Amino acid sequence: MSNNYNVILKERKLPLSLLNDHQNQARVHLLDREPFQDAFGPKTKRKRPRLLAFDYDSLLKKADGSQDAFEEKHADDVNVEGGEGDGFRDLVRHNMFEKGQSKRIWGELYKVIDSSDVVVQVLDARDPQGTRCHHLERHLKGHCKHKNMILLLNKCDLIPSWATKGWMRVLSKEYPTLSFHASVNKSFGKGSLLSVLRQFARLKSDKQAISVEFVGYPNVGKSSVINTL
């Protein structure tokens, strides 16, 4: 209001209606919207919510009852599939591997794994364990022992350095782990990744060049890493 030129130049960006609000419009009048008798009085018109339980003990009893009913209902299924009835099912043979789009995606993944020499699994530094594909790691250990895997801790600029060092110390016990910051201009860890890939290339001296595969969950930064390299 003190500088009219700013209002004129930035008319589309400024909420001009806020400049004209008065003091009485700034306050929220709850009783103008709904009278006190209708909201809180003895003749309230609000409907009482239907709660499953009115206190903590009744909620616990209901939860225990539903758990027992669920176990009785699925006890036969677990005994048939698990064999010993331990309550655990086979995680590898999952229905998602046999249906439409998922079947095509998993087929492409295994096709790429077969044609690659080094697998680089890109992880999000904010949640490394949550973005790891343990099914893929078990497949490589069981069926592709001649292939090498590298864990790439991407987006390490979004967490403190002590957290990056801790995750590097934990993950390095299983696979070679590198920290990385994908950026075209100010990247971090690019030289160390290329040097590790060159070392793997020397191990496979029978080939003229090695094939490197980048895998990972969506939005972990696979394309950014490739663009940085």
Contact 215, 122 (CB under 8 A): yes
The pLDDT of residue 69 is 87
Show the tokens assigned to 61.
Answer: 């009893």
- pLDDT at residue 100 tops 80: no
- Which is higher by pLDDT, 38 or 128? 128
Interatomic CA distance for residues 142 and 54, integer angstroms: 52
pLDDT tens digits along 162-209: 888 898 899 888 888 888 888 888 888 888 888 888 888 888 877 788
Average pLDDT value for residue range 103-126: 84
User: Best-predicted range by mean pLDDT among 78-87, 90-99, 137-146?
Assistant: 137-146
Interatomic CA distance for residues 180 and 188, integer angstroms: 5
* H or E stretch at 118: strand 118-124
Average pLDDT value for residue range 99-112: 73
The pLDDT of residue 55 is 84
The pLDDT of residue 87 is 54
Integer-rounded Cα radius of gyration of the chain = 29
Q: Name the residue ranges covered by the structural domains of the chain.
A: 76-115, 117-228
The pLDDT of residue 77 is 61
Show the tokens assigned to 71.
Answer: 């176990």
The phi, psi pair for 38, rounded to 5°, reads: -75, -25
The pLDDT of residue 88 is 54
pLDDT tens digits along 28-78: 665 566 677 777 777 777 666 677 787 888 888 888 888 888 888 877 665
Q: What letter would DSSP give residue 48? A: P
Strand order in the sheet with 212-215: 177-179, 148-154, 118-124, 212-215
- pLDDT at residue 80 tops 80: no
Contact 112, 121 (CB under 8 A): no
If one looks up domain 117-228 in CATH, what number appears? 3.40.50.300
User: Which residues contact residue 151 at a Cβ distance below 8 angstroms, ignoring those fewer than 6 apart?
Assistant: 121, 123, 128, 132, 171, 174, 175, 176, 177, 178
Would you tell me how many other CB atoms lie within 10 Å of the CB of residue 229? 14
- Which is higher by pLDDT, 103 or 224? 224
User: Which residues contact residue 140 at a Cβ distance below 8 angstroms, ignoring those fewer than 6 apart?
Assistant: 113, 119, 147, 149
Residue with tokens 């409907």: 47
pLDDT tens digits along 6-28: 655 555 666 666 666 655 555 66
The pLDDT of residue 221 is 87
